[in-house]
């Protein structure tokens, strides 16, 4: 038995509510899950490998992960968690079973040190991503219905091939105001983490 599965089994014996949930779709890509381990975990084998689900977390902020979970999911018993991997397993399962109701999960998974996984989960739940380009010359923005959004910010262009928006650095204030107006409540992904976009 690998570390992942043993961690999950340990969790499952303590947490009936999560164990009894049946996941049918992958938390990351929404494809149907085909084997029993995947339905137990709520994520398929390809996405587990690709998004670092099997890896150790990178610099987990344990308190933040627990705090976010306690805040949004008071029904979740975090007292049985003893490390970031177990916590991440629970959260991914819950997210795969209810993407809309648990849309805050990527924020907690990010805090727990599973950055790549969290960003993929945020994409599934609907997210706006704002990051600096590699050379630092502009912002790269990813958002739902970008075709509509592109007209809101002066100087912003739609890179059709890469499916992303290119925004000048000096337009950040307008960009941020437009994001708050257009996508309140959605998750915002930046280099610093994942946070909900303010609703007012
Ligand atoms: Zn998948």
Per the structure, the count of domains in the chain is 2
Domain holding 178, by residue range, is 126-196
Note whether 70 and 89 are same-domain residues: yes
- 154 CA → ligand 1 middle, Å: 37
- 37 CA → ligand 1 middle, Å: 13
- 199 CA → ligand 1 middle, Å: 30
- 124 CA → ligand 1 middle, Å: 10
- 40 CA → ligand 1 middle, Å: 14
Q: Give the Cα separation of 143 and 165 in Å (integer).
A: 8
Note whether 136 and 188 are same-domain residues: yes
CATH number at residue 144: 3.40.1170
Locate all alpha helices (DSSP H) within the chain, ordered by sequence: 3-14, 16-20, 36-41, 45-50, 62-72, 84-97, 105-111, 115-125, 146-149, 172-182
- 28 CA → ligand 1 middle, Å: 5
- Render each residue's pLDDT in the chain as its tens digit; 200 residues: 445 555 555 554 456 678 778 899 999 999 999 999 999 999 999 999 999 999 999 999 999 999 999 999 999 989 888 899 999 999 999 999 999 899 999 999 999 999 999 999 999 888 999 999 999 999 999 998 887 788 889 899 999 898 899 999 999 999 999 999 989 989 999 999 999 999 87
Boundary (domain end) residue, out of 95, 120, 145: 120
Note whether 37 and 94 are same-domain residues: yes
């Amino acid at each position: 038995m690998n570390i992942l599965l043993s961690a999950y089994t340990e969790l499952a014996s303590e947490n009936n509510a999560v164990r009894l949930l049946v996941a049918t779709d992958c938390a990351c890509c929404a494809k149907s899950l085909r084997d029993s381990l995947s339905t137990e975990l709520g994520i398929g084998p390809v996405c587990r490998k690709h998004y670092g689900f099997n890896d150790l977390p990178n610099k987990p902020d344990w308190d933040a992960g627990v705090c976010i979970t306690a805040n949004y999911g008071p029904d979740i018993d975090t007292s049985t968690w003893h490390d970031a991997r177990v916590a991440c397993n629970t959260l991914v399962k819950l997210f795969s079973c209810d993407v809309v109701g648990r849309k805050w999960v990527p924020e907690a998974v990010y805090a727990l040190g599973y950055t790549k996984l969290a960003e993929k989960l945020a994409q599934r739940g609907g997210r706006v991503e704002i990051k600096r380009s590699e050379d630092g010359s502009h912002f790269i923005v990813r958002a739902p219905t970008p075709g509509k959004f592109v007209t809101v910010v002066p100087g912003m262009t739609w890179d059709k091939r890469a499916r992303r928006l290119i925004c000048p650095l000096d337009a950040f204030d307008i960009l941020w105001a437009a994001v708050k107006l257009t996508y309140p409540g959605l998750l915002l992904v930046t280099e610093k983490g994942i946070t909900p976009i303010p609703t007012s």
